[in-house]
Amino acid sequence: MRHLKLLVGLFIATVFSIHQSQGQDFVYTPKNPAFGGSYVNYQWMLSSANAQNTLKDESQASYGRDYSYDPAANFEQDLQRRFFSELSSQVVNSYFGDDMGQGGLEEGSYEFGNYKVDVFEGQQGVNIRIQDFQKGSETTITLPYY
């Protein structure tokens, strides 16, 4: 009988304690502003990513406080740019400008720094072959006769 009273009391307590449960929908909000998050998080995420970045770009010369700037290398690059600029000016002027094939670009072989430039006439037109010894590459430009 004692067990029956205990069971009836437990049943009555269970019936009175049952009530309706309510829940809410789970809403995901991204943190990254690129994916719809708040724009306020942008600076924090960028600084966090930069702090974790262990890779450094070797191609970017550091001209700052460590004085790794090399004036001699810069001078050599300027001379090479000027040489190729002058060569392209002669090509354009002698074949497309006022000279129209007279004077201007002469046949021959020119060596400058890491480059060798050969100018010669071929069957199709005037050929300009540029060899880069440092990279091991070769470029041939053909200016057709017209």
Residue 97 has pLDDT above 70, yes or no: no
Residue 116's domain comprises 71-144
- 139 within some domain: yes
Cα 108 from Cα 86, distance rounded (Å): 16
- 49 within some domain: no
Residue 100 has pLDDT above 50, yes or no: no
What string of DSSP letters covers 58-86? TTS---STT----HHHHHHHHHHHHHHHH
Is pTM beyond 0.75 here?
no
Residue 81's CB is within 10 A of a number of other CB atoms, namely 10
- 13 within some domain: no
Lowest mean pLDDT among 11-15, 50-54, 83-87: 11-15
Cα 100 from Cα 92, distance rounded (Å): 9
What is the pLDDT of the chain when averaged over all its residues?
79
Question: Could you tell me which of 41, 133, 131, 129 has the C-alpha nearest to residue 142?
Answer: 129
Question: Could you tell me which of 50, 41, 42, 119 has the C-alpha nearest to residue 86?
Answer: 119
Domain count, the chain: 1
In terms of Cβ atoms closer than 10 Å to its own Cβ (0-12, 13-18, 19+), residue 119 is buried
Q: How confident is the model over 16-31, as pLDDT tens digits?
A: 777 666 778 888 888 8
Q: How confident is the model over 119-128, as pLDDT tens digits?
A: 888 888 888 8
Residue 146 has pLDDT above 80, yes or no: no
